[in-house]
Chain A
Amino acid sequence: MSEAALFALQRLSAKLLAPLVIVHLVLILYAVHGGLSAAEILERTRGSVVWGGFYVLFVIAVAVHAPIGVRNVAREWTRWRGRSLDAASLALAFILLALGLRAVAAVVLPG
Chain B
Amino acid sequence: MASPPKLDVRIWRGADAGEFVAYEAPLAENQTVLDVVTWIQRHREPALAYRFACRVGVCGSCAMTVNGRARWTCRSHVKDVVADGRLVIEPLRNLPRIKDLVCDLAPFFDKWRRAGGRFEGAGTRREPMPATDPDTDARRAADAGIECINCAVCYSACDVVGWRPDYLGPAALNRAWTLVNDERHVKAREVLDAVTAGGGCALCHTHGNCTEHCPVGISPTAAIAGLKRRSLRRSLGRRWRRRGGWT
Interfacial residues, chain A to chain B (CB-CB below 8 A): 2-8, 11, 72, 75-77
Sorting the interface of chain B by its residue count into under 10, 10 to 19, 20 to 34 or 35 or more gives 10 to 19
- Let me know if A76 and B235 touch, CB within 8 A: no
Footprint of A on B, CB under 8 Å? 160, 163-164, 196-200, 202-203, 228, 231-232, 235-236, 239
Closest CB-CB distance, B145 to chain A, in whole Å? 22
Our pick among B164, B199, B235 for the contact of A5 (Cβ within 8 Å) is B235
**Distance in angstroms between the alpha carbons of A72 and B199 in the assembled complex:** 11
17 A–B contacts, CB within 8 A, in A order: A3-B198, A3-B199, A4-B197, A4-B202, A4-B231, A4-B235, A5-B235, A5-B239, A7-B196, A7-B228, A7-B231, A8-B232, A11-B232, A72-B203, A76-B160, A76-B163, A77-B163
Q: Is the CB of B202 within 8 A of A3?
A: yes
Minimum Cβ distance to chain A for residue B60 (Å): 28
Additional A-B contacts beyond A8-B235, A8-B236 (11; CB < 8 A): A3-B200, A4-B197, A4-B202, A4-B231, A5-B235, A5-B239, A7-B235, A11-B228, A76-B163, A76-B164, A77-B163
B197's contact among A3, A11, A72, A77, by CB below 8 Å, is which? A3
Most chain-B CB neighbours within 10 Å: which of A3, A5, A6, A77? A3
Main secondary structure of the interface of B (DSSP, over half): helix
- Contacts of A11 on B, CB cut-off 8 Å? 228, 232
Considering the chains assembled together, what is the distance between the CA atoms of A43 and B115 in angstroms? 56
By a CB distance below 8 angstroms, the chain B residues around A76 are 160, 163-164
Contacts of B198 in A (CB 8 A): 2-3
User: Which B residues are CB-close (under 8 A) to A7?
Assistant: 196, 202, 228, 231-232, 235
Known: A11-B232, A72-B203. A4 touches B163 (CB 8 A): no
Contacts of A6 in B (CB 8 A): 202
Q: In the complex, what's the smallest C-beta–C-beta distance from B86 to chain A, in angstroms?
A: 33
Alpha-carbon distance between A6 and B126 when the two chains are bound, in angstroms: 45
Q: In angstroms, how far is the closest chain B Cβ from the Cβ of A12?
A: 8
Q: Which residue of A lies closest to B202 (CB)?
A: A7
Q: How far is the CA of A76 from the CA of B166 in the complex (A)?
A: 11
Q: How far is the CA of A7 from the CA of B199 in the complex (A)?
A: 11
Q: With the chains together, A75 CA to B198 CA distance in Å? A: 12
A53 to B196, CA, bound (A): 33
**Which 6 A/B pairs are nearest by Cβ-Cβ distance?**
A7-B202, A76-B163, A3-B198, A4-B196, A8-B235, A4-B235
Complex interface: chain A residues within 8 A of B200 (CB): 3
Complex CA gap A8/B228 in Å reads 9
